[in-house]
Amino acid sequence: MRLYRVNALIERDMRKFFRNPALMMASTIFPLVQLVVLGYAFGGQITNVLVALVDKDHGTQALDVRERLNAIVQYPKTFRLAEYTDLPAAMHDLRAGFVKAVIYIPPDYSQRVLRSENPRIAFIEDNTDTFTASGIAERMQQLQSDLNGPVLPPLQPGESLAASSAGVFSPNRLPATIAVQTVEVYPYVEYIKYLLAGSISLAIFVTAMIGGGITFIDDKSRGLHEGYLTTPLTKADLVMGLIGAGTAKGLMAGLIITFIGGLMAGIPRLWEPMRLLYLIVVLFATSLTMISLMFLLMVRVSDPLVPRAIFGVLNTLLFFPSGAVYPTAGFPAWLRGLSAVDPFTFAVDALKKLLLKDTGFAGISFDVAVLAGLSFALISGCILLFKRQV
């Protein structure tokens, strides 16, 4: 062994490393980004969740409930209130996933409070997301305690009301009989069911990484890609053909994980025709978006080391901010901004609505529309950047 020979090899590889900014970024900056994303993607306080309020009473005691709810809206901002005039409309939006809970004040609430006839407020929660439901339920328990307030002891013979209250009496305090009744819309949802939507999206993403990224770059490095350039195919033909093949593979992977994972998690009525049709639509839109994204990232890359270096970190940047593991309502503002442009977010949301709630097309239409719009933009970018020459 000669030391100068070893040094020559070391020098060659170091020069190659420093000439590749993508590898340098993957080895230095991306791990720090990964640390920040993972550090803020779990265990945050649930905030700004949309909750429906149906007030059929509008009495003085119902007004007191609304004021206390508005106080929670101001701080700690656990939820935002959306006014509904009737309960069926609020329940429809709850099942479609547009709101996370419904607070219902019945018509006779104020009268029951004044008569001490066990007044009740209904709290109907979407229990498919246990993290969000628990966060809202905690505030509702606090509301119940605040409404009941201190209990005054019964007056003794010859004792005045002021003496009995001992300084704690307030004319706005209500009798200690008010209860918030929690109603769960769905049966108990195990965490494996909650994770299923993210696992399906991840399977499609991995297929897109291999089919739309690594395979494409490997074909270019081996010279196989040059065969396409000898044909009369246009740039649009080549891009759509390669993306179409990747979409088909992603759809197959998504269907396999959906059926096997659905059976393992115990998803009921998975084979219903309309539900299956909606699942195929979502899986197709997700596959098309993921493969288009990978193709756009790799369309001008020639070094086969680049996709292998960045895909692991890219997986973290897209998967964890999507709400697949923990709800986006617990994210800080900057991470919510990332999730708002993350295609994973819309895929996971649509799949959760279909798998856990069995909603109709109204519940997934927005997610599908966003995925379709992203696909169109990404494919257009691929066609513009694709070079039809070596």
Segment 114-139, tens digit of pLDDT: 988 889 999 999 999 999 999 999 99
- What is the tens place of the pLDDT at every residue in 159-188? 544 444 444 444 444 454 799 999 999 988
In a domain, 301, yes or no: yes
> Would you give the DSSP letter of residue 151?
P
- 372 within 8 A of 347, measured Cβ to Cβ: no
Instruction: Per residue of the chain (390 residues), give pLDDT as tens.
Output: 678 777 877 787 778 767 767 666 666 677 777 778 888 888 889 999 999 999 999 999 999 999 999 999 999 999 999 999 999 999 999 999 999 999 999 999 999 999 888 899 999 999 999 999 999 999 999 999 999 876 555 545 555 444 444 444 444 444 547 999 999 999 889 999 999 999 999 999 988 888 766 777 777 777 666 666 677 778 888 888 888 988 999 999 999 999 999 999 999 888 899 999 999 999 999 999 999 999 898 888 777 777 777 777 788 889 999 999 999 999 999 999 999 999 999 999 999 999 999 888 989 999 999 999 999 999 999 999 887 555
Q: In the numeric block, which tokens belong to residue 249?
A: 């593979």
The dihedrals phi and psi of 120, each to the nearest 5 degrees, come to -130, 145
Whether 215 and 119 share a structural domain: no
Cα separation, 4 vs 389, whole angstroms: 41
Number of domains in the chain: 2
**Domain of residue 293, residue span:** 190-385
In a domain, 62, yes or no: yes
Cα separation, 68 vs 56, whole angstroms: 17
Q: In the numeric block, which tokens belong to residue 27?
A: 């080895």
Whether 377 and 274 share a structural domain: yes
Q: Read off the CATH number of the domain in which 103 is found.
A: 3.40.1710.10
Whether 324 and 216 share a structural domain: yes
Residue 386 has a pLDDT of 83
Whether 370 and 250 share a structural domain: yes
In a domain, 35, yes or no: no
Whether 123 and 238 share a structural domain: no
Q: With CA atoms as reference, report the closest residue to 351 among 272, 289, 284.
A: 284
Whether 231 and 195 share a structural domain: yes
Whether 295 and 271 share a structural domain: yes
Whether 103 and 224 share a structural domain: no
Q: Supply the pTM of this predicted model.
A: 0.85
Q: With CA atoms as reference, report the closest residue to 50 among 82, 27, 16, 95.
A: 82
Question: Last residue of a domain, which of 184, 208, 229?
Answer: 184
